[in-house]
Structure 1
Amino acid sequence: MKEEIVLHGVVLSEHSLREFDKRLQLLTMERGKMTVWASGAKRPNSPLLAGSRSFVFGKFHLREGKAGYTLRSVEVDAYFEEIAKDLEKACYAAYFLELAELVAQENLEAPQMVELLYLSLKALLHKGLKNELVRRIFELRMLMLEGEYTEEPPMPSGKSVQEAWHHVLSVPLGRLYTFTLEEGTLLSFSRNVDYLCKESFPKQFQSLRILKSLGS
């Protein structure tokens, strides 16, 4: 039997299997995107119950077998339960996970992507930041991680948009969410990011459809 491995990451999605089991999609710093089986995780007394939900960040103890990876235990660092209390924020957060699941690759280290997700979910809870701004900063930095970005905004833009663009592309992750934009500047910034996203991420995201129905 192979030894247990410990990986640091986040639960991107969860899917029910049979009556009590789950299939998880993890994003880990060390091995990128992974499919993991969580046996009995839906049982009320299961030690895996709390740590096998979307948005959970922590240390995942796994065992590799012939059929893939099995979750043995989770040391939870963050749940982000507050996000679920606000439908709009929950949709933005779900979109972040959807996008990460789309672009992440198996067996490819993803420490920056995991950190970006964590900081972006924290930013959604910041009362001084608009959800739309958090989304566009997240998207632009994801485009940068994927090598799909442009050094300058792709459309003619004012100085404030250009400065915001350069900030997002150049600062350490910990300083991403340290600015705000006026309404008109945010609209222009959003249009520029959206232009690149439509080219690089041509997928219909369920979370964005729900956001649109909410008028967000």
Structure 2
Amino acid sequence: MRETANLTGMVLKATPSGEYDRRLVILTRERGKITAFARGAKRPGNQLMAVSRPFVFGQFRLFEGREAYSLQGAEISNYFTELSQDVESACYGSYFLEFADYYSRENMDAGELLLLLYQSLRALLKPSLPNSLVQLVFELRAMTISGEYTEHPPCQVSDSAAYAWEYIIFSPLESLYTFVLTPEVQKELKFCVDRNKKRFIDRSFHSLEILEMM
């Protein structure tokens, strides 16, 4: 008999399923990316309505079915409602969710990627950090976690840009968002990160296309 599992994670996607349900994609620390259905989540007043939205982070109580999980309830630590109050930050956040969805798999240890995603969304809420820099840090470290990177920048750059590249790759996740760069150095870093993406990533991201048009 299958039992209820308590998994720590974040909702990456929430799409309608039938008249009243939602289909969720959740990045979990313990089991990687999973699919779960929130039954009745679209009904007014349903207890699952608030917890079955993108960006929601916490501990999810799930029943494991044959092909998917069924969401029973959740204890939420952060809804990231502040992101929805700023269009640009919301687009960056949506892009991070897409990026994490691309790199996550079922039955993988996703603790590091989940923590990176959480810290990156928090960084978007810091006025002192440019969102464009947060994006570069998130992209490079996510590729690093997946093993798709080089220890040194893929092209000739200044010492400052080279140091930033190596700092992003090797520093503890809790210390990632503790620096800013001059526009010139950030431009160098972006060139290198974009080159790395072109080498390893074979798809486009809808949220990034929206960002580039803004």
Counterpart of 1:15 in structure 2 is: 15
**Aligned residues between the structures:** 214
In structure 1, give the amino acid aligned to 2:172: P
Shift of 1:199: 1.6
Return the offset for 1:149. 0.7
Deviation at 1:183, TM superposition (A): 0.5
Q: Which residue is equivalent to 1:152?
A: 152
2:171 match: 171
Tell me, yes or no, if structure 1 residue 43 matches structure 2 residue 43: yes
Q: Which residue of 1 aligns with 2:209?
A: 209
Normalised to the residue count of structure 2, the TM-score between the two structures is 0.98
Which consecutive aligned stretches of 4+ in structure 1 deviate over 2 angstroms post-superposition?
A: 65-68
Comparing 63-72 with 100-109, greater Cα deviation is found at 63-72
Q: Percent identity?
A: 44
Distance 1:126 1:195 in 2: 27
Q: What is residue 195 of structure 1 aligned with on the other side?
A: 195
Q: In the aligned structure 2, how far is the partner of 1:148 from the partner of 1:2?
A: 36
TM value normalised by structure 1: 0.97
Judging changes above 3 Å, is the alpha-carbon distance between structure 1 residues 67 and 110 closer, same or farther for their aligned structure 2 residues?
closer
Structure 1 residue 106: Cα displacement? 0.3
- Structure 2, unmatched stretches of 5+, are none
| Displacement after TM superposition at 1:209 (Å) | 1.0
Paired with 1:201 and 1:89, the residues of 2 have a C-alpha distance of 23
Kept after mapping to 1: 8 A contact 2:59/2:74? yes
Over the aligned positions, Cα root-mean-square deviation in angstroms equals 0.9
Q: In the TM superposition, what whole-angstrom CA distance separates every residue of 1:152-191 from its partner, at most 9, and x where no partner exists? A: 1101100110111111111110000000000011011011
Distance across 1 between alignment mates of 2:99 and 2:67:
27
Matches for 1:49-198 after TM superposition, within 5 Å: 49-198=49-198
Point out where structure 1 has 5 or more consecutive residues left out of the alignment: none
